[in-house]
Amino acid sequence: MTGFHLDGENHWVAELECGHRQHVRHEPPWMERPWVLTEEGRRSRLGIELDCRRCDEVGHAVAEAVREALAAAARQAYEDAGLSGLCAEGRWELALDALRSTGLTSAIHRALARPH
């Protein structure tokens, strides 16, 4: 957490190092965060890490996109190698090569461009 501000409804919002923001409400008995109510309490939390839900979602989306791109590339290489008459070992080798050489940049960009 790098800072705090109030939103339009007077709820405290933590500003995170990653650039995202996350509500840090004090709503007893569901959510106990008495520290958020005082300037001193908030200052004492600066620098403390808060898991960012949005970064988690983005991370999962990117991981999923990378997995799909690699699986598709490996499957394609395996099929192509089969069509050109390679044995199982040769097909496996080409599938591995595809995993190593497939560009992932566009899949990652597409995943990041989707709304989260």
- State the residues that interact with Zn ion by CB under 5 A: 18, 20, 52, 54-55
Closest separation between CB of residue 102 and Zn ion, Å? 27
User: Quick one: which of 12, 37, 32 has its CA closest to 22?
Assistant: 12
Q: Looking at beta carbons only, is 45 or 82 nearer to Zn ion?
A: 45
Q: Looking at beta carbons only, is 29 or 115 nearer to Zn ion?
A: 115
The whole-angstrom distance between residue 73's C-alpha and the CA centroid of its chain comes to 22
Closest separation between CB of residue 52 and Zn ion, Å? 3
Closest separation between CB of residue 81 and Zn ion, Å? 41
Q: Looking at beta carbons only, is 50 or 104 nearer to Zn ion?
A: 50
The whole-angstrom distance between residue 84's C-alpha and the CA centroid of its chain comes to 39
76-99: buried (b, 16+ CB within 10 Å) or exposed (e) per residue?
A: ebbeebeeeeeeeeebeebbeebe
